[in-house]
Structure 1
Amino acid sequence: MIRPDDFREAMQRFAGPVTAITTIENGVPSGLMATAVCSLSADPPSLIVCINKTATAHDTILRQGFLGVSVMPDTLTAFANHFARAKGVDRFEGALWSFQETGAPLLAGASVAFDCRIATTHDGYSHTIVLCHICDIMLPNVDADRCLLWHRQGFVSLAGREAVENA
């Protein structure tokens, strides 16, 4: 039997991209930070996003049927800290947001941002597994192509390709 503490320790060693998952309802943005995001298919272009059922934005995202996935660049670590700690609409202060087809807020300074419609959801125990069709992709910031990672309960920056090739 795997103990929950052992599982949490193991997952701390599993680096994941830091993403802002966002939506908007009645003109009020809502969002959360997530690392459980991955590509699903190129045809049709789609993502999997896993959202904790206890997150305050969980129900709003499912009700709206659309979401934005903004990958945080390592140049926005201070904003990532703010977004992770702030509550409600205050999370969105201090950054520029843009809107595409669905109307979900997308971080203007993101490494990449995906504008998505929810295709289907599945129960994932403590999380809802959301399969999303990508409506639009923003590659807004060529100077922020290195995404911020979550590893060992903190933000870390990805080593440049040169660092790995020279190792």
Structure 2
Amino acid sequence: MTDAVDPDEYRQAIGRLVSGVTVVTTVADGIDHAMTANAITSVSLDPVRLLICVEREARFHDAVIANGTWGVSILDAAQRPHAVWLSTRGRPLHGQLDRVPHHRHESGVPLLDGSLATIVCRTADTLVSGDHTIVVGDVLSLQIAEQPGEALVYFRGRFGSQK
């Protein structure tokens, strides 16, 4: 146990790592669920897998566990307002994607229009760790933008861009 590590200092330290910004989406009981996330990573090429880390208290958690199919939209810098909106705690659950241009994958999962890439996954495994669940997904499909713009990135608690 690392009781000597202050969580606020840890947040500051890990904030020095530049990360890409994504929106993770799913559908549960006919309701779209979405959250801004930078805790995603590639896991494997054989089989092709990636993972997301989801706070267990977040509304998105129960929805993604229940559905088992979810999408990742890797954001373009121009999508910053969507990232801000979908990271706002307490936003209304119903209609949260009404102001965000999106389309649906054949699975029904919403994916953000204008993203650098979109990926659809089916949950292969989960692992509870601390206050999050690590959700590992088999990649079912992906789309890559033909003319990618600048990537939306997150560094030291702020959004930026990177070409």
Q: TM-score, normalised by structure 2?
A: 0.89
Distance in 2 (alpha carbons) for counterparts of 1:64 and 1:30: 11
Distance in 2 (alpha carbons) for counterparts of 1:129 and 1:106: 21
Equivalences for residues 108-123 of structure 1 within 5 A: 108-123=113-128
Q: Which residue, out of 146, 149, 152, partners 2:153? A: 149
Aligned to 2:14: 11
Greater helix share, structure number: 1
- CA shift in 2, pair 1:152/1:87, >3 Å: farther
Distance in 2 (alpha carbons) for counterparts of 1:77 and 1:124: 29
Q: Which residue, out of 98, 101, 106, partners 1:96? A: 101
Q: Which moved more, 1:76-85 or 1:35-44?
A: 76-85
C-alpha displacement at 1:143, in angstroms? Answer: 3.6
C-alpha displacement at 1:141, in angstroms? Answer: 5.4
Q: Deviations over 1:98-126 (max 9, x none)?
A: 22243211112111110110001001111
Aligned to 2:144: 139
C-alpha displacement at 1:82, in angstroms? Answer: 2.1
Aligned to 1:163: none
Q: What amino acid sits opposite 1:103 in the alignment?
A: G
Verify: 1:56 aligned to 2:59, yes or no.
Answer: yes
Aligned to 2:130: 125
Distance in 1 (alpha carbons) for counterparts of 2:84 and 2:7: 26
- CA shift in 2, pair 1:87/1:10, >3 Å: farther
C-alpha displacement at 1:41, in angstroms? Answer: 1.0
Secondary structure, counterpart of 2:141 in structure 1: strand
Runs of 4+ aligned structure 1 residues displaced above 6 Å come to none
Aligned to 1:47: 50
The unaligned stretches of length 5 or more in structure 2 are none
Q: Which moved more, 1:71-80 or 1:120-129?
A: 71-80
Measured on the aligned residues, the alpha-carbon RMSD in Å equals 1.6
Identity %: 28
Q: What amino acid sits opposite 2:14 in the alignment?
A: M
Query: Which has the higher relative contact order, 1 or 2, with Cα contacts under 8 A spaced 6 or more apart?
Result: 2
Q: TM-score, normalised by structure 1?
A: 0.87
Count of residue pairs the alignment pairs up: 158
Distance in 2 (alpha carbons) for counterparts of 1:137 and 1:23: 15
